[in-house]
Chain A
Amino acid sequence: MMLFLRQAWTIAAKDLRSELRTKESLNAAFAFAVTILLLFSFAVDVDPDRIKEISGGLLWMVFAFAGALIFNRAFARDLANDCLDALLASPIPGAALFLGKTIASFTLVLAIEMLCYPVFGLLYNISWANHFWTLAGVTVLATWAMAVIGTMFSTLCVNLSLREIMLPLLVYPVLIPALMGAMLLTTQLISGQPISSDNQIWLRVLAAFDIIFTSLALLLVETVLVG
């Protein structure tokens, strides 16, 4: 178990180190996110109350699309120079490889999101951090959902030249329940209210989504990776 986690961490560290050196997708994703947030001010009446009502929806759409730019690259770095072959030939279990990559993507997207919140607050004059820790918790759960599905479906597409087109088409419909929950909860939290008892169920949905899909992925990824 410890070995498994250590191996996963080796992969996660490698991916993060690689990405932080070049910052290719990180910059692209962040620039994209900020641009959309900015553009949105031209699309609607910038009235704080109205913005609060749609904050969850807007933010999570931005996160989902910015995230795609990161997840698309999950395996791209390993395909250059056939590095994936060397990884697969090594003793690391496919599940540990998958977990490592998911952790790396998750961390990058989470970083972008936590930067986007203050930008959003600034642009629209909304104090977003009233329930900071709860909001962070929701963000973590939903981002993990995106990371797991994004990385898993990346492995399904890993040999396809059409990967960049295919991946979003496959990923987004599956993510809808998680994004739904994230949007509802985020809207409520940014509006300054704690999560109502009505909305507690969405926390459970997010948690269940994460647990079930992570388990499925860990179980099935080895089968997919070895041709």
Chain B
Amino acid sequence: MSEAALAVHEVWKYFGDFPALRKVTLRVDPGSCVALLGRNGAGKTTLLKILAGLAAPSEGTILLEGKSPRDAATRSRIGLIGHGIAVYDELTALENLEVFAQLYGIAQPREAAREWLRRVNLGHVENGKAREFSRGMRQRLAVARAFLHSPKLLILDEPFTGLDDRSIGLLQALLRDALATGATAILSTHQLPEAMELATHVALLNRGQLAFAGERTAEMLADPNWVYKHYGEAAA
């Protein structure tokens, strides 16, 4: 069996008394795209944070390509769009991307930053401060930041939220390209149709527990609510 891109084994996460994740076990093979579904408060963000190495599980283990998420080499392969967009308001779009390009050790940070600004249709405002951007523009900047270093592991928390049509298409195209080169992606979302198009697998979190994990079927594509209907809280 080939090495899993993401291996989550019996992970629990407590915040004080409250179990945000309960004995979650999930295995994601390389090249898959997992749509992580669940109501608000189900634990999606918590799980994604732990996958990205931002928090440690209270119990259980997480391995990304067989290594800890905190491993430096692994981190340079992770592309993250978190719950907050992680954009510095006082810096320009170009400066924002340059900082991250430098941190990821990209050879020509300024050129790479410019290139990516063009790809997300922000090339014309490269010297504009992020604070002055519309929500959609900031989101596109965040997308550029996440894809800048050609990551092989994409961890995206509600990446479609707040995007207009054009931007959604853009993100879908970027994801498709990345997946075509063998990247693995896990994304949480409420935008079901967009996610179902891209997903090869689907997982559903119900109050911290994994209620469903399996391949994305034709039925799910036809009716994006299918998973919620059959495995969601009302069904349980």
Binding site for B on A (CB under 8 A): 3, 6-7, 10, 14, 17-18, 21-22, 77, 80-83, 85-93, 226-227
Minimal beta-carbon separation of A95 from chain B (angstroms):
12
Q: Is B9's beta carbon under 8 Å from chain A?
A: no
Interface stretch (choices B26-34, B88-96, B164-172): B88-96
Pairwise interchain contact A93-B72, C-beta atoms closer than 8 A: yes
Pairwise interchain contact A85-B88, C-beta atoms closer than 8 A: no
Residues in B with CB closer than 8 Å to A90 are: 75-76, 100, 103-104
Residues in B with CB closer than 8 Å to A88 are: 53-54
Binding site for A on B (CB under 8 A): 49, 52-56, 70, 72-73, 75-76, 78, 80, 82-91, 95, 99-100, 102-105, 129, 145
Residues in A with CB closer than 8 Å to B103 are: 7, 10, 87, 90-92
Residues in A with CB closer than 8 Å to B55 are: 226-227
Residues in A with CB closer than 8 Å to B78 are: 89
Q: What residue in chain A is nearest B69 (Cβ atoms)?
A: A89
Minimal beta-carbon separation of A146 from chain B (angstroms):
24
List 17 other contacts, CB 8 Å, given A88-B53, A226-B55, A226-B56: A7-B103, A14-B88, A18-B88, A18-B90, A80-B89, A81-B85, A81-B87, A81-B88, A85-B84, A85-B86, A88-B54, A89-B78, A89-B82, A90-B76, A91-B76, A91-B105, A227-B54
CA distance A89 to B155 in the complex (A): 10
Most buried by B among A7, A14, A17: A14
CA distance A17 to B90 in the complex (A): 8
CA distance A6 to B104 in the complex (A): 11
Per DSSP, are chain A's interface residues mostly helix, strand or loop, or mixed? helix
Q: What residue in chain A is nearest B78 (Cβ atoms)?
A: A89
CA distance A4 to B90 in the complex (A): 25
Pairwise interchain contact B105-A10, C-beta atoms closer than 8 A: no
Which residue of the partner chain, among A21, A89, A93, contacts B53 with CB atoms under 8 Å? Answer: A89
Pairwise interchain contact A77-B52, C-beta atoms closer than 8 A: no
CA distance A7 to B100 in the complex (A): 10
Residues in B with CB closer than 8 Å to A80 are: 84, 89
Pairwise interchain contact B85-A82, C-beta atoms closer than 8 A: yes
Pairwise interchain contact A81-B70, C-beta atoms closer than 8 A: no
Which residue of the partner chain, among A3, A77, A91, A227, contacts B88 with CB atoms under 8 Å? Answer: A77
Minimal beta-carbon separation of A4 from chain B (angstroms):
11
Residues in B with CB closer than 8 Å to A85 are: 49, 52, 54, 80, 82, 84, 86
Pairwise interchain contact B86-A82, C-beta atoms closer than 8 A: yes
CA distance A85 to B145 in the complex (A): 13
CA distance A216 to B140 in the complex (A): 40
CA distance A226 to B57 in the complex (A): 11
Contacts A86-B80, A91-B72, A227-B54; is A18 near B91 (CB within 8 Å)? yes
Q: What residue in chain B is nearest A93 (Cβ atoms)?
A: B72
Residues in B with CB closer than 8 Å to A82 are: 82-86
A-B contact pairs, 28 of them (CB 8 A): A3-B105, A6-B102, A14-B91, A14-B95, A17-B90, A80-B89, A81-B84, A81-B87, A81-B89, A82-B84, A82-B86, A85-B49, A85-B80, A85-B82, A85-B84, A86-B80, A86-B86, A88-B54, A89-B80, A90-B75, A90-B103, A91-B72, A91-B75, A91-B76, A91-B103, A91-B105, A226-B53, A226-B56
